[in-house]
Amino acid sequence: MRFQLTDEQKALRAVVRDVIGRSSAAGVWGLVAQFPAPLIDRGFWRALGELGVFSLRLPEVDGGAGLGLPEAVLVFEELGWALVPGPLVATHLAAGVVPGAATGETVVAAADGSLVEWLDEADVVLPGAEGAVALRSVDPLTPLHRVPAPGRTDPVAVLLTAAEQLGTAARVCELAVQHARTREQFGQAIGGFQAVKHLCAQSLVRVEVARAAVYAAAVTGDVVDIAAARVLADEAAVRGARDCLQVHGGMGFTWESEVHLHLKRAWVRARRGGGNTESEELLAADLLAGVAWRGACLR
Amino acid sequence: MDLSYTAQEDEFRARLREWLGKVLPTLPVKPSPDDWPGRRAYDLGWQRMLYDAGYADVHWDASPTTRLIFLEETEKAGAPYVGANFVGLLHAGPTIAAEGTPEQRERWLPPVLRGDEVWCQGFSEPDAGSDLAALRTRAWRDGDDYVVTGSKIWTSHAEVADWCELLVRTDADAPKHRGISWLAMPMSAAGITVRPLRTLAGSAEFAEVFLDEVRVPVGNRVGDENDGWRVTMVTLSFERGTAFVGEVVACRRVLGELAVEARRNGRWDDPVLRRQLGRLNAEFRALWRLTQWNVSEAEASGGVPGVGGSVFKLRYSHARQELYDAAADVLGPDSLDLERAWVLDRLSSLSYTIAAGTSQIQQNIVAERILGLPKGR
Ligand SMILES: Cc1cc2nc3c(=O)[nH]c(=O)nc-3n(C[C@H](O)[C@H](O)[C@H](O)COP(=O)(O)OP(=O)(O)OC[C@H]3O[C@@H](n4cnc5c(N)ncnc54)[C@H](O)[C@@H]3O)c2cc1C
């Protein structure tokens, strides 16, 4: 057993961080300015395609990198961290199925639960979007439509969503810590106050627990592990973003602060696949299946 | 990222399983919680069996992964806990192994491994709990002895211990972290009074220990004089590292039993309770993965667990309390009946956020040492 990132996995993460980290930080605010009808930057989408974001799990003969879920999870964690907008999970899952999805030529949206993200910007919508009605989306970076017939959710979509949530959780923990170190009140950095310090510590604990769950689910590909990853990553992202907002004080409540963008995105992702209920029921049923602590699940 | 085990590790697991299957049915009946001599004999007897079978030093010499497998398999098979051997095997022993002289290792380690001697931990004092470095028990040099006077509290297994890993102040004028030494005190020495304390669960799990001019040979000091705080940090990092592996496995079993009981008594039909059990399944699965992550990390870094143990302990101690609160929800009115399974466990779970560094102290550690937030109030 060596449950740590390999050197190749660390290198992959560094490359992704390098490419998307820089381009999106600037890109996101431009997009927020387009609210309520943000557009997908097609050049950037193709750049993501070149990076392998969509094709990485395709076999090399099909133009992919032949990598697995662990690598995909690392990439989606970075996408989440950097708040990269667009139907990333849907397009990734369409690679090899919808022409142009793998390379980033085509933007693919998908009905997930009773919602579709980025419908108007998509070239293709799976399985279709009949009767879709636009919502006034709470997240300025994710336009939403409601669809009458709930779509099925692929466990891989759940896992990649959990990876994005993990990225958000890690990012908001960092933002909270940065602010706590620099903002001064009562003549000291607020991070010296225990009430603030403990919010930050709990935020990190949630990140580390979610990380172990998400990475393990990527290695096993087991649906119960994926459900566990989802529950914990949602919690880490949503609670983490709220605590980050609290640590920022009034600044955290402003449109200009990036904190609300993370919280709202985490809320949108937490709704995917109909929310947490299904995952919790799956995890409960697993207890009765009597396999919770035996054999393969512990390996 | 690899969660599979090597052929060698699988073989170790298989051999261990086979051995456990053979010996566990031959164990004597477990003594009652109040029968201290009986508990001591039972725990030492088990350690002796491990020794004879070649598993005694798995906590020290084996790789972290082998240790993980050992703890996982013994728990799954329902083997006895370390019990009275806890301090010797997981605390004082590793400290002596890391910091002791060859003579000290030769004197103290084999009896621990063989199941001959029990250790207890005399760190906390009435006025030094979270602020451990404020301890006041004094030790003066008198020839080849230290003469120790003071008092310790919350000392688990003090009544049945042969040795006590004792923190004393050897320089009262130095800054508080720099005047402490680590001594091995024989519990048979003159001047020691042990007064048992009853816990909220009803049994006497720990004690007050009064020390009145107790003579401890200078040769029983581990590490340099006044360097005891550093030696102590070595000890604490062991306690916060792999100490809970078996318990996580046990919690997962309890969770499965809770689900079965809830189905039997109809509480399973309550979706709120059912989903809470589902969340706990996620929680303990993740804690198991975090354990594997930390073990792999320790393996890569040469064995000594790091501050990551605080992250684990914070979450685990809380999760354990939630587990037994959920048990109370499953039991309903029976949760108030001490005869029922899980009710005593619920009571003892309350100590988890206090013992071995409270949750508040662990949060300070995570915030200051991992996140780099300023020290302060
Ligand atoms: C079951 C059990 C077994 C034990 N076994 C042993 C043993 O064998 N040997 C041994 O030496 N000790 C043992 N202990 C003692 C244990 O280590 C201490 O109880 C623990 O360190 C807390 O110290 P205290 O009880 O003095 O509480 P205090 O330090 O007085 O703490 C009281 C409250 O104040 C909070 N607090 C204190 N300081 C701070 C701070 N700086 N910031 C924020 N909050 C703070 C604490 O979190 C806690 O909530 C045991 C304890 C228990 C419960």
Determine the atom of ligand 1 nearest the C-alpha atom of B122: 11
Question: What is the rounded CA–CA span in Å between residue B159 and residue A103?
Answer: 71
Tell whether B191 and B109 lie within a shared domain. Answer: no
pLDDT per residue over B12-48, tens digit each? 999 999 999 999 999 999 998 889 999 999 999 999 9
Tell whether B274 and B361 lie within a shared domain. Answer: yes
CATH code of the domain covering residue B328? 1.20.140.10
Is the minimum CB–CB distance between A231 and chain B shorter than 8 Å?
yes
Cβ(B123) to ligand 1 under 6 A? yes
Tell me which amino acid residue B173 is. Answer: D
Question: What is the rounded CA–CA span in Å between residue A48 and residue A84?
Answer: 10
Residues 6+ apart with CB under 8 A from B33: B39, B203
Tell whether B13 and B41 lie within a shared domain. Answer: yes
Could you write out the DSSP letters of every residue in A143-184? -EEEEEEEEP--HHHHHHHHHHHHHHHHHHHHHHHHHHHH-E
What is the residue range of B46's domain?
7-114
Tell whether B219 and B320 lie within a shared domain. Answer: no
Nearest to B216 by CA among B171, B164, B175, B259: B164
Tell whether B185 and B134 lie within a shared domain. Answer: yes
- Quote the mean pLDDT of chain A: 92
What pLDDT was estimated at residue B262?
Answer: 97
Name the band, by pLDDT with cuts 50, 70 and 90, for residue A30: confident
- Residue B108 domain flag: yes
Q: Which helix (H) or strand (E) holds A139?
A: none
For the entire predicted model, the pTM comes to 0.94
> Span A43-52, mean pLDDT?
94
Under 8 Å between Cβ of A53 and A79? yes
CA distance A202 to chain B (A): 7
Q: CA angle, B317 as apex, B316 and B323 as ends, to 5°?
A: 80
pLDDT over 70 percentage in chain A: 94
Cβ separation A197–B364 shorter than 8 A: yes
ipTM above 0.90, yes or no: yes
Nearest to A76 by CA among A27, A12, A140, A123: A12
- Residue B376 domain flag: no
Number of domains, chain B: 3
Tell the burial category of A34 from Cβ atoms under 10 Å away from its Cβ (0-12, 13-18, 19+): exposed
Tell whether B244 and B322 lie within a shared domain. Answer: yes
What φ, ψ does residue A99 adopt, rounded to 5°? -55, 135
- Residue B2 domain flag: no
CA distance B252 to chain A (A): 6
Cβ(B130) to ligand 1 under 6 A? yes
- Residue B324 domain flag: yes
pLDDT per residue over A152-182, tens digit each? 789 999 999 999 999 999 999 999 999 999 9
- Residue B230 domain flag: no
**Lookup result for tokens 């399944």:** B281
Q: Which helix (H) or strand (E) holds B319?
A: helix B308-331
CATH code of the domain covering residue B152? 2.40.110.10
CA distance B89 to chain A (A): 25
Shortest CB distance from B377 goes to which of A194, A198, A224?
Answer: A194
Tell whether B251 and B364 lie within a shared domain. Answer: yes
pLDDT over 90 percentage in chain A: 81
Residue A103 has pLDDT above 80, yes or no: yes
What pLDDT was estimated at residue B65?
Answer: 87
What φ, ψ does residue B261 adopt, rounded to 5°? -65, -40
Name the band, by pLDDT with cuts 50, 70 and 90, for residue A207: very high
Percent composition of chain B: helix, strand, coil (DSSP 3-state, to 5) = 55, 15, 30
- Residue B336 domain flag: yes
Domain boundary among B83, B114, B145: B114
Q: Which helix (H) or strand (E) holds A238?
A: helix A223-248
**Lookup result for tokens 């049945």:** B160
Tell whether B207 and B289 lie within a shared domain. Answer: no
- Residue B232 domain flag: no
Q: Does the annotation count B165 as an active-site position? A: no
What pLDDT was estimated at residue A150?
Answer: 72
Tell whether B129 and B174 lie within a shared domain. Answer: yes
What pLDDT was estimated at residue B91?
Answer: 87
CA of B154 to the centre of ligand 1 (A): 9
CATH code of the domain covering residue B77? 1.10.540.10
DSSP-assigned beta bridge partners for residue B167: B182
Domains of chain A from N-terminus onward? 7-152 (1.10.540.10), 156-294 (1.20.140.10)
Tell whether B164 and B264 lie within a shared domain. Answer: no
Question: What is the rounded CA–CA span in Å between residue B249 and residue B75?
Answer: 7
Question: What is the rounded CA–CA span in Å between residue A25 and residue A56?
Answer: 23
> What six digits make up the tokens of A89?
């999970």
Tell whether B274 and B360 lie within a shared domain. Answer: yes
* Closest B-chain CA to A193: B377
Question: What is the rounded CA–CA span in Å between residue B350 and residue B249?
Answer: 19
Cβ separation B373–A181 shorter than 8 A: yes
Name the band, by pLDDT with cuts 50, 70 and 90, for residue A56: very high
Cβ separation A194–B2 shorter than 8 A: no
Domain boundary among B179, B196, B225: B225
- Residue B231 domain flag: no
Rounded to 10 degrees, the C-alpha dihedral A85/A88/A89/A91 comes to 150
Domain boundary among B52, B87, B114: B114
Mean pLDDT of each 10-residue bin along chain B, 377 residues long: 94 97 95 90 96 89 85 93 91 90 97 97 96 97 98 96 98 96 98 96 92 98 96 68 83 96 97 98 97 87 69 96 98 96 96 94 94 86
> Span A124-140, mean pLDDT?
93
What φ, ψ does residue B246 adopt, rounded to 5°? -60, -35
Tell whether B75 and B92 lie within a shared domain. Answer: yes
Rounded to 10 degrees, the C-alpha dihedral B365/B370/B371/B375 comes to 40
Cβ separation A299–B277 shorter than 8 A: no
What pLDDT was estimated at residue A299?
Answer: 30
Question: For the packed helices B245-265 and B64-76, what is the interaxial angle rounded to 10 degrees?
Answer: 30
Residue A291 has pLDDT above 70, yes or no: no
Question: What is the rounded CA–CA span in Å between residue A95 and residue A79?
Answer: 17
For strands B180-186 and B163-169, give the pairing: antiparallel
Rounded to 10 degrees, the C-alpha dihedral A176/A177/A182/A187 comes to 90
What pLDDT was estimated at residue A294?
Answer: 40
Residue A297 has pLDDT above 50, yes or no: no
What pLDDT was estimated at residue A137?
Answer: 95
For strands A188-189 and A133-134, give the pairing: unpaired
